[in-house]
Structure 1
Amino acid sequence: MSDASGSPRLDLGPLAAAARRSLNGDNPGEVGTRLPPLVDHHVHLMLVGVGAFAGSGLSGVVDLGAPLPVVAAARGIGMPRVDFAGWFLTAPGGYPTGRPWAVEGCVREVAAETGEERWTLAHPAETAVSELHSFGASVVKVALNLDAGPVFDRPTLDAIVAAAHERGLPVVAHVEGDGMTRLAVEAGVDVLAHTPFTEAVDDDLVARAAAAGQRWISTLHIHGHGAPSDDLERAVDNLRRFRAAGGRVLYGTDLGNGDQPVGVNAGELAALARAGLGASELLAALADPWPRDERVDAVATFVPGPPPERLDDVPAWLAAAVVVPAEELDPVDDSAAA
């Protein structure tokens, strides 16, 4: 498709539609683009505060590590809607235990299986997952950071994954250190909280992860926050190959980690474009409702003005998005937005 000048128009894909934001009175409203609700799939409310998202372009966030009272308070704020993991589950003494940013109550250490659990009501892994499920957690987060301390042995990790899956909860893993991506893939972990950045994941393992339906949350911008870094280059390369293998990419920023904007992060989207995602794929990564099955239909995203003509312009364009009631947006003829 071309615009009024005859130039090819950037393909934003099926999630984008020309729309007019209708206003009361004589004002005819502003023409722009309607998008589904946008989600940051990796934030930490304990670090940015539950009210930080007012006026942002995000309709949803997924908190991947916080004390339960923090996420309990967040569930009542209305918008954005909050899904959460609750505690980081980690091996005794494992990451992020002892980190200065790890707010008291955000970590739960899970003891290893000893073979004596048959004499008790439940393995510690089963107990921890059961309590998170009862509290309303949407996902279970495990820490597999070999560079920062001990990690779960395979039987304990298997017990956590099994307990979560029995309750319909996906398991998200922070992987860091040699062999941790392989451990997560082989244990059936559903989602990686970060694109692997400390190791170059071999092609066979990338293909296995994609074929198994594993999702990777991007979090690329945290590596240097726009400056070059070895971790960024490894992560971009890993994500490029994962996407090429058919892997599903989720937009996420690890908000709270360093100085990042609240809302849609243009730097994260630019890094995703470097990893090979086109405009429609950027929108799909942002609008994926995971861990929910369906999108919220009461709100929509509106980006005022003409849509971008180049992929390089998409990140800044999306950073101007606002959340609006879906009823405020009326469809317009596509040529009217050109």
Structure 2
Amino acid sequence: MSDPQAVRDLLGPMAALCHRAITGEHGVSLPPLADHHVHLHLIDEHALPGGGIAAVLDLGGDPVQLARRGHGLPHVAYAGAFLTAPGGYPSGRPWAPDAISRFVTGPSTHPGEPGGAATAVDEQASFGASVIKVALHAAAGPVFDPTTLAAVAASAHARGLPVVAHVEGDGMTRLALDARVDVLAHTPFSEDLDADLIARAAASGQRWISTLDIHAGDPAAAERAVRHLSAFVSSGGSVLYGTDLGNGDRRVGVLPAELAALHRAGLRGPALVETLTDPWPGSAVEGVSTFVPGPPPATLDDIPAWLGGAVVVPTEELIHDDH
């Protein structure tokens, strides 16, 4: 049997050797895993627990349909619709029905003002949004001017809601940072960021959702994203595992390729597991755990592929072997 302390050293303090009470199968337990960037209308969400994911953050969907979801697994937090400038991303995209976008035409923070920043934020909040998503994609259409973006952020923060931004194109990362955006939906990949800007993002407390594997077919973007994330981590920045599931034909569940890219960026062992088990923007899912059958990984390099075998199981099924 493996050394319990060696397992914790590799995977973090919450890792434990265990077996399933019903089947007797041995493995390792971890807290519930979360994917912090998905689009449920583009995937089979029911496959997520079997692929190891207990909780997701939907970052762009129909707020009406999201509010009508029942309880159960996976646990879902959501942004509701993308808030975007008139004609801006993702409007007009084949994968983006009209219901998942809201146009913000001005910076008004008066409730009920048609097209105003506060009106758009209030609508998403009324449907139970846990975060507000803004689109800053300069190459795909208009983006918010700084005043309107700041008004959206201020309206969200007044409601206690963090703001997540899709940033793509020159100057978009700085625009988001200047407006006090809390989280980037993707590690910046389309512009070269200098060290000072990355350090400023980390010092501000901004978080970055990884989504590195979406660039598998674009080596330049992949290299840039990993380089930026490595610098962000070195500056003390906080990273959340996220895959943008629904973007491309990929497995629904834990993606070892995403984890391998995070590993290359310097997030290894317990730090890598932490990106997956961080319950942001809510609290951890109760009553379930992650179970990875078989022997634990032998080295740090083994962890990304090993986590691909994870499944979600009731916590009561797992009996720890290291007591």
TM-score range, shorter chain: over 0.9
SS in 1 for 2:133: strand
Amino acid across the alignment from 2:207 = R
Residue number in structure 2 paired with 1:169: 161
Amino acid across the alignment from 1:174 = H
CA–CA distance in structure 2, aligned partners of residues 43 and 119 of structure 1:
30
Given that residues 40 and 252 in structure 1 are in contact (C-alpha distance below 8 angstroms), is that contact kept between their aligned partners in structure 2?
yes
Q: 1:241 aligns with which of 202, 226, 231?
A: 231
CA–CA distance in structure 1, aligned partners of residues 182 and 202 of structure 2:
10
Q: 1:130 aligns with which of 122, 131, 137?
A: 122
The change in CA–CA distance for 1:242 and 1:199 in structure 2 (over 3 A counts) is: same
Question: How big is the shift at 1:130?
Answer: 0.7
Residue number in structure 2 paired with 1:16: 15
Question: How big is the shift at 1:21?
Answer: 1.6
CA–CA distance in structure 1, aligned partners of residues 48 and 8 of structure 2:
32
Residue number in structure 2 paired with 1:288: 278
Residue number in structure 1 paired with 2:59: 64
CA–CA distance in structure 2, aligned partners of residues 77 and 134 of structure 1:
18
CA–CA distance in structure 2, aligned partners of residues 245 and 119 of structure 1:
39
SS in 2 for 1:55: helix
5+ residue gaps, structure 1, are none
The change in CA–CA distance for 1:61 and 1:8 in structure 2 (over 3 A counts) is: closer
Given that residues 49 and 311 in structure 2 are in contact (C-alpha distance below 8 angstroms), is that contact kept between their aligned partners in structure 1?
no
Question: How big is the shift at 1:68?
Answer: 1.9
Residue number in structure 2 paired with 1:79: 73
The change in CA–CA distance for 1:139 and 1:261 in structure 2 (over 3 A counts) is: same
The reply on whether 1:108 has 2:81 as its aligned counterpart is no
CA–CA distance in structure 2, aligned partners of residues 78 and 94 of structure 1:
34
Given that residues 138 and 170 in structure 2 are in contact (C-alpha distance below 8 angstroms), is that contact kept between their aligned partners in structure 1?
yes
Given that residues 89 and 142 in structure 1 are in contact (C-alpha distance below 8 angstroms), is that contact kept between their aligned partners in structure 2?
yes
Question: 1:13-42: per-residue Cα shift (whole Å, max 9, x none)?
Answer: 21311122211xxx6x12211100000000
Residue number in structure 1 paired with 2:39: 44
The reply on whether 1:202 has 2:202 as its aligned counterpart is no
CA–CA distance in structure 1, aligned partners of residues 18 and 232 of structure 2:
34
Percent identical among aligned pairs is 59
Question: How big is the shift at 1:312?
Answer: 2.6
CA RMSD of superposed structures (Å): 2.2
Using the size of structure 1 for normalisation, the TM-score is 0.90
Find the structure with the greater CA-based Rg.
Answer: 1
CA–CA distance in structure 2, aligned partners of residues 312 and 70 of structure 1:
41
Residue number in structure 2 paired with 1:30: 25
Residue number in structure 2 paired with 1:92: 86
Using the size of structure 2 for normalisation, the TM-score is 0.94
CA–CA distance in structure 1, aligned partners of residues 246 and 95 of structure 2:
9
Given that residues 49 and 253 in structure 2 are in contact (C-alpha distance below 8 angstroms), is that contact kept between their aligned partners in structure 1?
no
